[in-house]
Structure 1
Amino acid sequence: MTTNANTQALSEQGVSIWLDDLSRERLDSGSLAGLIESHHVVGVTTNPTIFESALAKGEAYEQQLSELADAGADAEKAVFDITTTDVRQACDVFSGVYERTDGVDGRVSIEVDPRLARDTEGTIAQAKQLWEAVDRENVLIKIPATVEGIEAIAAVLAEGISVNVTLVFSLERYRAVINAFMLGLEKAHADGRDISKIHSVASFFVSRVDSEVDKRLELAAEEGKPGTEKLRSSAALANARLAHQIAGESFSSERWQLLAERGAHPQRLLLASTGTKDPNLSDTLYVTELVAAGVVNTMPEKTLLALADHGTVDGDTMTDTYVESNRVLDGIAAAGISYREVVDVLEAEGLDKFVKSWEGLLGTIDTGLRRVVA
């Protein structure tokens, strides 16, 4: 199979390309395996919205729905079994990548019930259940980076469970995520665990930052505040690039070196929400402008195909941008836009979206269970 030159170029820059999508149909058709060969896809992320969309189509899940209905499963049980089955199968598809990269890539993520995002103990308990149910070393358990989630992240990592920390929007919260990661590894090591087997990524959301900030910049412009136009569509890149700076500083610290000497792998920065929402922007903006060795970019299929078709990769576009990125955020603050307010709104909206998708998923499954027994 011919490999795509543009995705190959991104991969050669050290960026891991993950697909932000999964479905039974994609697994059964061989589509996922094909993207590994043709588009350098080396991992998958999922979330409640992705599973809601997959299950709404339904046909590929009919047999398992019938089996679950015959066993008397309710919607909660069925969702758990169906999603862990998909993720387990995807983990098997990526087993070769996982082995070839010594566990760095070949990863598939599954998220705890988003209704537990403010429940530390509930998150810990379900993370353990998902880890045991999928029963594959290359699964990542997704935990939202809420205040309550930070403690859960450290506790789950300490149990030897690999984690994808999701819904990270702010630089301050990202620092807390890295601290929780190191705390978890320190506890795991103290308990005698092999920390070389524990992997983690931190999903730093990108495009939604521009959506929220640009909306506020428009209001600032209407109020006559100068300089707002040049700041449009610049906040998300600046925020992500400064997250990259934080990662570089954190994983060159003395604290980290002690863990690295014990076999630990650094938590990688994962760029999420990289599909462009503004039609006036390049549809590969949040890929080609966020290139640096060691980062992960998880893309919806539409963005992946756009990259493959016309994306241009021109080397590292993050490392030498920190000074300008700080100027961008300073300019946004000078326009009267509160960074803290923006990231708080985005976290609340993100959680709300996932909870609604989860409830929609439960409703779809409940309808399916009733249908197959009718």
Structure 2
Amino acid sequence: MNKLYETVTLFPQTEVWNDSCSCAELQYAIDNGASGATTNPVIVGNVLKKELPQWEETIKTIITDHPAYTEDEAAWDVIKVLGAKASKLLLPMFEASQGQKGRISFQTNAKYYRSKDKMVEQACELAAVVPNAQIKAPTSKAGVEAFEELTYRGISINATVSFTCAQAIAVAEAVERGLARREAEGLPTAQMHPVCTIMAGRTDDYLKSWVKQHDMLISAEALDMAGVAVVKNAYRLYQERGYRTKLLVAAFRNQHHWEEFIGGDIVLTITSDWQRKYNGSDVEIKSNIDTPVDPKLMAELMKLDEFKKAYLEDGLKPEEFEHYGAFLATMNQFLGGYDDLVKLIRSYMIQ
């Protein structure tokens, strides 16, 4: 039994998702116990680079069938087509679980992160693409406002570009408000499955960069556990308060980002290369979710103000979310990845 399959078999509350919409990668993940998938413009761009011969005719057909399309409109049709194809592999699971598994995430345009209304409008459009859609948007102040409205409208959200306990709590509270509004009007909520991402590896990346820039000496062991510590603190708060949002861990960088969360009521969205590394390991599959991070490592991390902003529940105010270093770095990458996708589409339009 492969390690990821063993993980979800022994601990079915611990979900594994495929961090890609590549059908080949998704099938491997499903065969090893995965129950979801995710996409965004960067992921779609990477899939196209790997599998371009499979998708060239689709791109050309979209362009030919819509002669008035801009390159952006064509790009979003491509995103929808790739996501819709992958969604079919998950649909039986979605139907069997009454919406609790088998979802695929579509991400709104990163350029809309400052506008609640634009995120909500596009999210509703993306949610209509397939029945098992889940909608991602950045966890900015406007994004949190959008999550409440989308939840009220019956759309299961996936809060992304999130690195901190403060963001995770703001998302969970927004979802609770949205669910309460639905319930007050007698609208159903049982099949909804909201999740909030913490990009643990990107929290680590940012802190490593910050420490280097400030000539501080913090052990590699501590920095490799920073994202884990943030997730575990947020997980504790979620469990204590009974939030109906489920935490999701993304941006895997090391073994800890998997093994430290085994046994949790949590989602782990893992790229195909890390899935294969984990499956080839000899890690013992046991529950580690409630095992605290080594106090010595925590003492090192708590010397860093930037870590405390991520770790403490009140480390950031909502208006500060979009100015946190990890948010800035990730948004720049997402925006750049979207630009690259549009350039690829452009190469088929202008010739």
TM-score interval, normalised by the smaller of the two chains: 0.7 to 0.9
Matches of 1:45 and 1:197, distance apart in 2: 19
Q: Which structure 2 residues correspond to residues 1-374 of structure 1 after superposition, within 5 A?
A: 4-11=1-8, 12-14=10-12, 15-23=14-22, 27=23, 31-37=25-31, 39-57=32-50, 58-71=52-65, 72=67, 73-132=69-128, 134-136=129-131, 138-218=132-212, 228=219, 231-251=222-242, 266-274=244-252, 276=253, 283-321=254-292, 324=294, 328-329=297-298, 331-334=300-303, 337=306, 339-340=308-309, 344-371=324-351
**1:158-214 residue CA offsets vs partner (Å, 9 max, x unmatched):** 111111111111111111010011011111222332111222111111112222223
Per the alignment, do residues 336 and 244 of structure 1 end up closer, same or farther by CA in structure 2, a change over 3 Å counting? closer
* Cα contact 2:107–2:136 (8 A) shared by 1: yes
* AA aligned opposite 2:289: M
In the TM superposition, residue 337 of structure 1 has moved relative to its aligned partner by: 4.9
Which structure would you say has the larger Rg? 1
* Cα contact 1:284–1:311 (8 A) shared by 2: no
* Cα contact 2:19–2:272 (8 A) shared by 1: yes
Matches of 2:158 and 2:331, distance apart in 1: 16
Question: Percent of aligned positions with the same letter in both sequences?
Answer: 19
In the TM superposition, residue 35 of structure 1 has moved relative to its aligned partner by: 3.3
* Cα contact 1:56–1:364 (8 A) shared by 2: no
Aligned residue pair count: 335
Q: Which moved more, 1:197-206 or 1:92-101?
A: 92-101
* Cα contact 1:271–1:298 (8 A) shared by 2: yes
In the TM superposition, residue 285 of structure 1 has moved relative to its aligned partner by: 2.5
* Cα contact 2:226–2:307 (8 A) shared by 1: no
* Cα contact 1:228–1:335 (8 A) shared by 2: no
In the TM superposition, residue 63 of structure 1 has moved relative to its aligned partner by: 1.9
**1:54-78 residue CA offsets vs partner (Å, 9 max, x unmatched):** 2335322222222222221321221
Matches of 1:89 and 1:153, distance apart in 2: 26
* AA aligned opposite 1:13: F
Taking only aligned residues, the RMSD between alpha carbons, in angstroms, comes to 2.4
Matches of 1:294 and 1:351, distance apart in 2: 28
Matches of 2:183 and 2:21, distance apart in 1: 34
* AA aligned opposite 2:180: E
- Structure 1: any 5+ residue segments left out of the alignment? 257-265, 277-282
* Cα contact 2:126–2:133 (8 A) shared by 1: no
Matches of 2:45 and 2:213, distance apart in 1: 34
* Cα contact 2:107–2:137 (8 A) shared by 1: yes
- Structure 2: any 5+ residue segments left out of the alignment? 312-320
Matches of 1:321 and 1:155, distance apart in 2: 35
* AA aligned opposite 1:334: K
In the TM superposition, residue 307 of structure 1 has moved relative to its aligned partner by: 0.9
Q: TM-score, normalised by structure 1?
A: 0.82
Q: Which moved more, 1:191-200 or 1:330-339?
A: 330-339
Q: TM-score, normalised by structure 2?
A: 0.88
